[in-house]
Amino acid sequence: MINDEELNRNPQHSVPTLALDRLEAVTALGRGAKGVVFLARDEVKDEILALKVISRDSIEKKSSKTVKSGNGNEGNEYRRVTFEQEVLRNFNHPLFPRLRGVLGTDKVVGYAIDYCPGRDLNSLRRKQTEQMFSDGIIRFFAAELVLALEYLHNLGIVYRDLKPENIMIQENGHIMLVDFDLSAKLSPISPKSSTPTNSVNQTPSNSIKKKRFSLFQRYCNSGISPDDSASQASVNSEHTESDSVEKSNSFVGTEEYVAPEIISGKGHDFGVDWWSLGIVLHEMLYGTTPFRGLNRKETFYRILTKSPDLVGEPTSLRNLIRKLLEKDPKKRISLEGIKGHNYFKGIDWELILGIERPPYIPVQTEKDFWEEGTEVINKIDVELFVQGIFENAGEGGVQNKGKPDHSLNTNNNLENVNKNDRLRGQNHRSFEANPFSVF
C-alpha cells in the first residue's frame, strides 16, 4: 500500500491535505497512463485548481508486475508518485506551479496545482496563421523556457519531457511548465562540464557507429508500446569521471523530442533538455518537429543520423536551433552560450518575468471557464470516474482513445477526455510512463 504520510512529509513546505468532499470536479481536462486531470474547485477556499488523480489499483498493479519481472525496480511506481509531488513542493518560481494540496483515499491518490486557462502552447500554435508563431512570439516563449530550465537544473532536476503540451499559458500570459513524471534528480552540473568543447566535429569511428546502431535496433525492435510499464527503467544513475557529471541511463521521453544520447543508451544529463528546446523552437517556427518519421523506428533513426532541415534564409533563430540540435551532447550549446546567443541580443534576462503584456493573454479567465463548465456538466464522482477508466483500459492503464465508456454515467466528461487526446497530438507519444500532457 502507498504510505500517505509520504505524500506530505516535507515540514519546510507545508501542503494541506485535501478531502474529496470539499472538491467539486466538473470536467476532465486530460488523461494519461496513471490517472486523470480534472478542473476542480476547492469549495472551502473558493479556488479553481487542476486536480491530478491517480488510481491506487493501477499503481499497485504496475508495481506488482515490476516485482514479478525480477528487474530490481520494486516500488518504482510508488517512488514516482511521491517524487513528482516532492518536485512540486520545492518550487518557488513564477514559471512553475504551486502544489496546492495532496489527496489520498482508499481508491485514489493525487494532488492539486494551479490551473492555466490559456491551455498549452500546442493549442495556441494551432490558432496562429499557418499554425506557426512569429519570430517575436517565439523569442518571448523561448526566453521564458530558458529561464524555466535554468531554474530546474539549478535544483538538480533534469526535466526530460519538454514539449508544447507540457508548456501551459497562465492567466497573465506567462508560461508554466508542468508534468514532472519523467523528471529525475541529478547532481548539479559543474561549470567546467557544462561548457561545450570547441573542437571541430569529427565523424564517429566505425565501432562507435556499430554500437550506436545496435542500441538503436534493440530499442526500436523491442515491441514495447509507449504505454507499457514493462518499458520502464529505474531512475538509476552512474557517475562518469570523464564528464565529471552524474548521468541517468533511463530510457524515457516523448519520441519526437527525445535526445540522441537517450536513444543510444550512453547515459544522459541536463543536455537532453536543451536538445528538446531545439525541437520545440523548430516546431514553433515551422509547425512540425524536424525528425518525425512514419513510425517510432524511423523517428529514432532520423534523430540519430539526420540533420535538421532548416528551410529559409539564415537567421539567428535557425542558428540557435542548429546549435541546440547538436547530436554530440559535449558539443551542444550550453546555458551560457544560449543566453549569450545573438537571437537573445538585447534581452534583459532579469526583466522578462515582469513583462505585463506578453504576446498572448487568455481571453477566458479561470472563473469564466468554471462558470461555462458548470452550465453543461454535473459534478463528477472522481473515484468512480478514475476507476472506471482504468478498469476498462485494463492492467497498466493503456488508453482507449476515442471510445467513450457509457457505463460510467459521465459520458460528456469522458468524451472531453477523448477529444483532448485527439486535439493534443496522438503522434507525440511518450514512452516509459506516458505522462499527463494536459493541465
Which domain CATH number covers 109?
A: 3.30.200.20
pLDDT digits (tens, 9 = 90+) for 271-287: 999 999 999 999 999 99
Predicted confidence (pLDDT) per residue in 88-137, tens digit: 999 999 999 999 999 899 989 999 999 999 989 999 999 888 888 999 99
Give the residue carrying C-alpha cell 542500441.
215
The helix (run of H) or strand (run of E) holding residue 389 is helix 382-393
| Residues 317 and 186 both lie in one domain | yes
Q: DSSP character for 416?
A: H
The mean pLDDT of 242-256, rounded to a whole number, is 68
Do 392 and 330 belong together in one domain? no
- In terms of domains, do 27 and 170 share one? no
Q: Are residues 221 and 147 in the same domain?
A: yes
For residue 13, name the pLDDT band (cuts at 50, 70, 90).
Answer: low
On whether both 240 and 269 belong to a single domain, the answer is: yes
Among residues 354, 375, 398, which one ends one of the domains? 354
Query: Does residue 257 sit in the same domain as residue 146?
Result: yes
Residue 120 and residue 437 in contact, taking contact as beta carbons nearer than 8 Å: yes
**pLDDT(184) > 50:** yes
Same domain for 157 and 208, yes or no, is yes
CATH number at residue 183: 1.10.510.10
Question: How far apart are alpha carbons 40 and 232 in whole angstroms?
Answer: 31
Q: Which of 329, 354, 379 is the last residue of a domain?
A: 354
Q: Which residues are catalytic?
A: 161
Clarify whether residues 265 and 293 are in a common domain: yes
Is residue 245 located within the same domain as residue 390?
A: no
Q: Which of 155-164, 228-237, 271-280, 364-373 has the lowest mean pLDDT?
A: 228-237
Burial grade of 99 (CB within 10 A; 0-12, 13-18, 19 or more): buried
- Within 8 A by CB and 6+ apart from 45, the residues are none
pLDDT of residue 358: 94
Residue 247 main-chain phi, psi, to 5 deg: -130, 155
Query: Is 302 contained in some domain?
Result: yes
**pTM score, two decimals?**
0.74
Q: Is residue 439 part of a domain?
A: no
Same domain, 235 and 185: yes
Residue 436 in domain: no
Same domain membership, residue 226 and residue 282:
yes
pLDDT recorded at residue 378: 65
Top-ranked range on mean pLDDT: pick from 7-11, 61-65, 268-272, 362-366 = 268-272
Provide the domain count of the chain. 2
Instruction: Give the Å distances, CA to CA, from 73 to 7, 77, 79, 176, 238.
Output: 20, 9, 10, 32, 16
Nearest CA to 408 out of 365, 378, 373 is that of 378
Residue 438 maps to a domain:
no
- Percent of the residues in the chain that have a pLDDT greater than 70, as a whole number: 64
Q: Which residue, of 354, 377, 402, is where some domain finishes?
A: 354
Asked if 152 and 250 sit in the same domain, the reply is yes
Cβ(330)–Cβ(287) below 8 Å: no
With respect to residue 298, please indicate whether it lies within any of the assigned structural domains: yes
pLDDT tens-digit map of 395-433: 433 233 233 332 223 333 344 444 443 333 333 444 443
- Report d(CA 409, CA 399) in Å as an integer: 19
Structural domain contains residue 332? yes
Pick the closest to residue 95 from 55, 151, 35 (CA basis): 151
Full residue range of the structural domain in which residue 191 is found: 121-354
Band of residue 35 on the pLDDT scale cut at 50, 70, 90: confident
pLDDT of residue 15: 84
